[in-house]
């Protein structure tokens, strides 16, 4: 099963994960919280290890909670 990063609502929008993602799969639009580009993320876990707030988890693709933090 392929993995993907999932960001919890407690993200403090520091932007660190955006800088360290090797695939440039993360954006932090207008400082409201990080978002994952599902087409780019390979689930490597680098962002989860580096997040100072520890709000990134690596989950299996297709799980309903991937979209839990969808921003309108």
Residues that bind ligand SF4 (CB under 6 A): 5, 7, 11-17, 21, 23, 25-26, 28, 34, 36, 41-47, 51, 53, 55-56
**Min CB(49)–ligand SF4 separation in Å:** 9
Residues near 26 by Cβ (< 8 Å), separated by ≥ 6?
A: 5, 17, 18, 34, 35, 36, 37, 41, 47
Closer residue to ligand SF4 (CB): 13 or 66: 13
Closer residue to ligand SF4 (CB): 2 or 72: 2
Residues 58 and 21 sit within 8 Å (Cβ to Cβ):
no
């Amino acid at each position: 099963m392929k993995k993907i990063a999932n960001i919890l609502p407690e993200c403090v929008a520091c932007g660190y994960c955006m800088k360290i993602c090797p695939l440039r799969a993360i954006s932090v639009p207008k400082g409201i919280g990080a978002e994952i580009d599902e087409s780019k993320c390979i689930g490597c876990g680098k962002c989860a290890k580096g997040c100072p707030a520890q709000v990134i988890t690596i989950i299996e693709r297709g799980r309903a909670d991937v979209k839990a933090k969808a921003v309108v």
